[in-house]
Homo-oligomer: A and B are copies of this chain.
Amino acid sequence: MQTVKQNFISFGEHLRTLRTKMELPLREVASHLGIDPSLLAKIERSERQPTKQLIKDVANYFHVNEKELQNEFLSDQIAYKIIDEEADLEILKAAEQKVYYLKTHRNG
């Protein structure tokens, strides 16, 4: 049996899942991460954004892959942006092309 990855879950929701599965209160986890419990709660609810350092700390604390968490957070940001700019999903394809273009044309 393998884990089914639901990649429409936000970083915050994922974080909350990790925490609640271990039955830890905000207080406990926040303390280990060196932040205020209220801030942790806000991050879980996507009312605040995690810093890179926090993502790293979360990955260490819960023994999950850091890069995966980073990607998760980044895709959140992109999704939210598209929604509140009411943009067409087409722009993702355009963005992809731009990434290719920019990467192949770096330094010249």
Name A76's closest neighbour in chain B (CB-CB): B98
When the two chains form their complex, are residues A91 and B103 in contact, meaning their CB atoms are under 8 A apart? no
Which DSSP category, helix, strand, loop or mixed, fits chain A's interface?
helix
Name A97's closest neighbour in chain B (CB-CB): B8
Q: For window 70-92 of chain A, which residues contact chain B by CB distance below 8 Å? A: 70-72, 74-79, 81-83, 85, 87-92
When the two chains form their complex, are residues B70 and A85 in contact, meaning their CB atoms are under 8 A apart? yes
When the two chains form their complex, are residues A92 and B92 in contact, meaning their CB atoms are under 8 A apart? yes
CB distance from A72 to the nearest CB of B (A): 7
Q: For window 54-108 of chain A, which residues contact chain B by CB distance below 8 Å? A: 70-72, 74-79, 81-83, 85, 87-92, 94-103
Which residues of chain A have a CB within 8 Å of any CB of chain B? 7-8, 10, 70-72, 74-79, 81-83, 85, 87-92, 94-103
